[in-house]
Amino acid sequence: MTDSTPALELRGITKRFGDLVANDGIDFDVRGGEVHALLGENGAGKTTVMRIAYGLTQADAGQILVGGHALAIRAPRDAIGAGIGMVTQHFALVRPMTVAENLALGRSRGLRLDLSQAGRRASDASERFGIRIDPTARVEDLSVGEQQRVEILKALSRDCRILILDEPTAVLVPGEVDALFATLRALVADGLSIVFISHKLAEVRAISDRVSVLRRGKLAGTVAGSTDERELARLMVGRPTFGVERPPDATVPSGAPVLSLRGLHATGPQGLPALSDLSLDVRAGEIVGVAGVSGNGQTELVEVLSGMRRPTAGSVTVGGVGLNGADPARMMRAGVGRIPEDRHASLIGDLSVAYNLVLERLDDFRRSGRIDERMVREHATELMQRFDIRARADDPVASLSGGNIQKVLLARVLSRDPSVIVVAQPTRGLDVGATEYVREQLLARRGAGAAILLVSEDLDELLALSDRLVVMYEGRILGEMAAADADLEHLGMLMAGRGIAA
């Protein structure tokens, strides 16, 4: 292979699913010693084309070339044999096994696995790539974010010449992102080819040599990695996206807290402590952002505030009313709206959009003991127009895109005008347009006087939306600061458990 020959080249890749053309004659290549980013809205076809490159999906037409030679990649083993590795959006981990055992799978020889050697290799890989994870932890006990880090580590610890990374930094603190980028640059300097998929435009510009943008199944363009963010956004959505701009605030909220937590304790998986003496206030018209590496109690905090987990000690108060140990229905009646991390688990995929929109308040739509179908449909029609849900009322919610599913959740929660909104990872996995819409909705509720607790692993999102930031580490609030005064390096140190708030 010469320097001018792409390490991986896709020519005229076409893939249809029924009448839907997911990929329409896409040409894409990545060279040796290059980071080539792939961007696109949900449904643009980027996941499909990369699944084809890795053998998870078969193209209807087109060629795959590795080192200038056409190859038939029918399964991931063919891709791995050709030197292609991929971190997919759906984890390929064995949940009952430890991190070390998962990293060793497929690498051990013979019928027995040397556990001590596997542990050492996992620890060495963790140190080398700067991705902190306990090699002895079982995958089933890890959070979604921690499992993603295991996948990243597994891919990086194996020898491959072409590495496809899908949102690899979503759960890393700034220092870890810097360390990962330094590692990737070192690997690229040694000739590794990287396809880097990310929704973060600044991140793409920081690491990429080239950027290819897909829109509606077609290649919208390939540009230099240093291209202005607005131009990248224009290529993605067909219009300039300038981000969400917050209206200037005349005053900082100073009234009595709407949501008040005092000395909160709760247990997590296997009865281990998840929240420890956590105290926090959120006032009307305020967004308090919760920063922290996944697995430091954020999930348990959201579950307590939504009635899904009972605290073992401490108090939860909303509008002056004590809600210790309240169930989800009581929390909802008290004015708490919940937008959870797992949007699919909060909806019933086989039910229609209309019924999912009334799922938490069916009694309001009963007449003489029976559901009034006309009322349900009228309610759905009004909310679908109001929240720009692009579907039909009778469509199964599982058939919607990620952005429209999130809009269904937003509509169901925000239409009740809750005084407190607890929202976790509201834009994870969404495209640029859907992300912008969700953030605008949260800012609108803040402007209307809601108290919002925002849990997100996207620091850009926290800094753009929050009035105050708190940092969680090992179930405690380690530091607090005004978002406008936040320093990324200091924030990253707090998230890694180092340093104290200024």
Which pLDDT score is estimated for 446? Answer: 95
DSSP letter string, 39-67: EE-TTSSHHHHHHHHTTSS--SEEEEEET
Q: What percent of the chain has pLDDT over 90?
A: 50
**Statement: residue 266 has pLDDT above 90:** yes
**Same topology between domain 8-237 and domain 243-335+418-502:** yes
**Statement: residue 242 has pLDDT above 50:** no
**Statement: residue 241 has pLDDT above 50:** no
Domain ranges of the chain: 8-237, 243-335+418-502, 350-415
130 or 437, which is more confident: 437
State how far the alpha carbon of 90 is from the alpha carbons of 23, 78, 86, 465, in Å: 20, 19, 11, 29
Which pLDDT score is estimated for 2? Answer: 42
157, amino acid identity: S
First to last CA, the chain: 54
What are 129-186's pLDDT values in tens digits? 767 789 999 998 887 667 877 888 888 777 789 999 887 776 666 776 787 888 889 8
**Statement: residue 218 has pLDDT above 80:** yes
Tokens found for residue 375 = 């009322």
CA 231 from chain centre, in angstroms, equals 24
Which pLDDT score is estimated for 212? Answer: 95
Q: What percent of the chain has pLDDT over 70?
A: 90
Any bridge partners for residue 370, and if so which? 367
The whole-number average pLDDT for the span 452-461 is 89
CA 224 – CA 204 distance, rounded (Å): 10
Cα-Cα-Cα-Cα dihedral sign, residues 344, 348, 353, 356: negative
At 4, the pLDDT band (50, 70, 90 cuts) reads: confident
335 or 490, which is more confident: 335
CA 312 – CA 334 distance, rounded (Å): 21
Q: CATH number of the domain at 243-335+418-502, out of 3.40.50.300, 3.30.300.160, 3.90.960.10, 3.40.640.10?
A: 3.40.50.300
171, amino acid identity: V
**Statement: residue 196 has pLDDT above 90:** yes
CA 354 – CA 364 distance, rounded (Å): 14
CA dihedral 95, 345, 44, 15 (to 10 degrees): 60
What are 152-165's pLDDT values in tens digits? 888 877 778 999 98
| 332 phi/psi in degrees, rounded to 5 | -65, -45
The whole-number average pLDDT for the span 423-448 is 89
CATH of domain 8-237: 3.40.50.300
Which pLDDT score is estimated for 254? Answer: 61
Residue with tokens 């309610």: 379
What are 401-429's pLDDT values in tens digits? 888 899 999 999 999 999 999 999 998 87
What are 304-337's pLDDT values in tens digits? 999 999 999 999 999 999 998 899 999 999 999 9
CA 17 – CA 330 distance, rounded (Å): 44
Pairing mode, strands 420-424 and 451-455: parallel
At 498, the pLDDT band (50, 70, 90 cuts) reads: low
What are 58-110's pLDDT values in tens digits? 999 999 999 999 999 999 999 988 999 898 767 789 999 999 999 888 665 55
Specify the DSSP class assigned to residue 195: E
Tokens found for residue 94 = 């064995």
Which pLDDT score is estimated for 445? Answer: 95
At 501, the pLDDT band (50, 70, 90 cuts) reads: very low
**Statement: residue 454 has pLDDT above 90:** yes
At 302, the pLDDT band (50, 70, 90 cuts) reads: very high
What are 334-360's pLDDT values in tens digits? 999 999 888 888 899 899 999 999 988
Which pLDDT score is estimated for 490? Answer: 79
Question: Which of 493, 492, 467, 496 lies closest to 481 in space, CA to CA?
Answer: 467
Residues across the chain? 502
